[in-house]
Chains A and B, each alone.
Chain A
Amino acid sequence: MSDLVWIFISALVVNNFTLSYFLGLCPFFGVSGKLVTAFRLGIATTFVLLITSIATWTLNTFVLERFPYLRLLAFIVVIASAVQFVEMVIKKTSPALFAALGIFLPLITTNCAVLGLALFQTSRGYGFWQGIAFALGGGGGLTLALVLMASLREEARLSDVPAVVRGTAFNLLLAGILAMAFMGFAGLLST
């Protein structure tokens, strides 16, 4: 049990998907302009992560044992399907959210975090529940990073930032400071 808590907390803050493993940076910089959208994309991605984790476990346990060389290909196909599925669900249940997320919804397919989750889960040999804990922690961490970043950027819009600094460079520096803050979580799990 404590193992599951460890995996969850580790992926959530100590080894935050975005700020420590650099997974899912595209939406991190692309969608973090507005707080609400950022939060919703985080939730959608978490959902995809959850499905991917279950699918990865199933594939690893029943299929890929015999065909390990098809692993990457299989993961990609599964992820693309999972994203399609989530897209359909969101479209049915909340057309407004579907419109708000726009292009970033299908782009979850090429979100490194999703493939990264599948790969790390495999290389660390996580079981079913460990995979779930990893997906929830990773998704939560990603959402947390997105929300923090979006809040910072909403604040920064009101402040007097020199024109040359604005843009990606500024966001990267913000992310650097945020990542430094997250370094403070190191050691949380081993004391």
Chain B
Amino acid sequence: MTTTTPPADPSRAYQEFVKGIWKENPAFVQVLGMCPTLAVTNSAINALAMGSATMVVLMCSSLLISLIGRFVPNQVRISTYVVVIATLVTVVDFTLQALAPAVHKELGAFLALIVVNCLILGRAEAFAAKNPPGLAVLDALGMGIGFTFALSCLGMLREVLGNGSLFGFDLFGPSFEPWVVMVLPPGGFLVLGVILLLFSVFGTRKAS
């Protein structure tokens, strides 16, 4: 926060930023954007790349939508948001293709599918359009970090279990028999299922 913000603001800003990381984590708590959550988290590096790309798109779209929100008539707001998001995703897609072709090839069509990630349109509609740009970006940053964190957790878990490696480095040596199904599609469902289960177990324990 800059020192010019009014005294009441920093705590609000801090809250908007922090909530997405854990309490309202988009992937683990709200269970949004499942398609990329499961499809590209078969390795830690893919998960990190996908999370970061989503975060960039989310921040830019939140900023833009917060700026233009007032001028867009209610009836065409969703269409306008989608145009904004699709444009940003295409730009990110081109950039990644130019700078990191290997990562781009791994993510493939799933990168473009960020457009229909409910998380981005959801934040635009629920938060960015109604809040000033500063708060919108903070909210997006928090949500983005939370999403990237969740994806990385899944990616790391699945890579360690299913491939015996982390970020491509071999962890256990040749004697390790990898649990291959974990890097295959069913592993995505199972690992996320178990994580959500743990969340709900601890949630109930805390409540009681």
A contact residues vs B (CB 8 Å cutoff): 19-26, 29, 69, 71-73, 76, 80, 110-112, 115-116, 119-120, 123, 163-165, 167-173, 175-177, 179-180, 183
Bound complex: CA of A2 vs CA of B82, how far in Å?
Answer: 39
Bound complex: CA of A180 vs CA of B194, how far in Å?
Answer: 16
B95 at the interface (CB under 8 A from A): no
Contact yes or no, A72 B196, CB < 8 A: no
B11 at the interface (CB under 8 A from A): no
Contact yes or no, B204 A164, CB < 8 A: yes
Expressed in whole angstroms, the minimum distance between the Cβ of B39 and any Cβ of chain A is: 4
Write the chain A residue with the least CB distance to B87.
A73
Contact yes or no, B83 A22, CB < 8 A: no
Write the chain A residue with the least CB distance to B93.
A72
Residue from A72, A167, A172 within 8 A of B86 (CB atoms): A72
Bound complex: CA of A3 vs CA of B122, how far in Å?
Answer: 40
Which residues of B sit under 8 angstroms from A119, Cβ to Cβ?
109, 112-113
Residue from A69, A110, A123, A168 within 8 A of B118 (CB atoms): A110
Contact yes or no, B35 A112, CB < 8 A: yes
Contact yes or no, B116 A112, CB < 8 A: yes
Which residues of B sit under 8 angstroms from A80, Cβ to Cβ?
79, 82
Write the chain B residue with the least CB distance to A28.
B34
Write the chain A residue with the least CB distance to B83.
A73
Write the chain B residue with the least CB distance to A16.
B185
What are 6 A-B pairs at a CB distance below 8 A? A22-B39, A24-B35, A73-B87, A110-B116, A164-B200, A164-B204
Chain B, residues 101-143, CB within 8 Å of chain A (1/0): the string is 0000000110011011010010000000000000000000000
Bound complex: CA of A181 vs CA of B192, how far in Å?
Answer: 18
Residue from A25, A73, A111, A179 within 8 A of B90 (CB atoms): A73
Expressed in whole angstroms, the minimum distance between the Cβ of B64 and any Cβ of chain A is: 15
- Given A72-B90, A168-B31, A168-B196, also A115-B185 (CB < 8 A): no
Contact yes or no, B121 A22, CB < 8 A: no
B186 at the interface (CB under 8 A from A): yes
Contact yes or no, B200 A76, CB < 8 A: no
Contact yes or no, A175 B189, CB < 8 A: yes
Expressed in whole angstroms, the minimum distance between the Cβ of B47 and any Cβ of chain A is: 13
Which residues of B sit under 8 angstroms from A177, Cβ to Cβ?
186
Which residues of B sit under 8 angstroms from A179, Cβ to Cβ?
185-186, 188-189
Instruction: Please name the 5 residue pairs, one residue from A and one from B, whose CB atoms are nearest each other, closest first.
Output: A172-B193, A176-B189, A176-B190, A179-B186, A169-B196
Residue from B93, B108, B185, B190 within 8 A of A22 (CB atoms): B185
Which residues of B sit under 8 angstroms from A169, Cβ to Cβ?
193-194, 196-197, 199-200
B181 at the interface (CB under 8 A from A): yes
Which residues of A sit under 8 angstroms from B112, Cβ to Cβ?
72, 115, 119
